[in-house]
Amino acid sequence: MAILSIEPLTRQAFAPFGDVVETEGLTPLSINQGYASRYNELANVDVGAEGGQINISLFVASVRPAPIALRLMERHPLGSQLFMPLNGGDWLVVVCTDPRAPSSYRAFAANGKQGVNYGRNCWHHPLLVLKDASSFLVVDRKGGGDNLEEYWLDEIIQLDPRTAASSPR
C-alpha cells in the first residue's frame, strides 16, 4: 500500500491540474461606490462541450476515517469542476495524471480560503474535508453527454490528513 505525502496548495504546484481559486496576491476592483471589492477571472470555467451549461450547486461533505484510503479517482471529460469552501475549513485535494501510476499522484492541503477548479479531464479524488458538514459552492457542467469517468484503484493509496500543513492564509 502506497502512502501519499501532502504538500501545501499553491497556484504553481497545482497548475498542471487546473486553477487555484483564491484572492491572495491579487488586486481587486473597487465596486458599488467603494463598498465592495471584486476579484475577476479567478478560474477558467470550461463547460461548453456538447452544449453544456453552467451548473451551480452546494455540496455538504463529511470527514472520512483517517488514514484515508484512496480507492477511486474520477474525471470529467466535458467540463471543468470548481470547488470553493464556504465554512472556511481546511480541506485536501488529490489529483493525478494517470490513476494507474501511483507515482503520478499528488495531494495538496488547501486552506479554507482556497478553492480549486479541476481542468477538463483532470483525474481527482472526490471531495476530502477535515471537518464534518463542510459546505462547498460547486460550479460545473450540466447537460447531455457522458461527463463522468471513474477509475477504481487496484492498490489502495493511503493519505493521512494529520500530516497536512495547510497553505498560507
Q: What does each of the 169 residues of the chain score in pLDDT, given as a tens digit? A: 788 999 999 999 999 999 999 999 999 999 999 999 999 999 999 999 999 999 999 999 999 999 999 999 999 999 999 999 999 999 999 999 999 999 999 999 999 999 999 999 999 999 999 999 999 999 999 999 999 999 999 999 999 988 876 555 5
Q: Is 116 left (phi over 0), alpha (psi -120 to 50) or beta?
A: beta
Neighbour-count burial of 144, counting CB atoms closer than 10 A to its CB (0-12 exposed, 13-18 middle, 19+ buried): exposed
pTM (predicted TM-score): 0.94
Q: Which positions ≥6 away from 62 have C-beta within 8 Å?
A: 129, 132, 133, 134
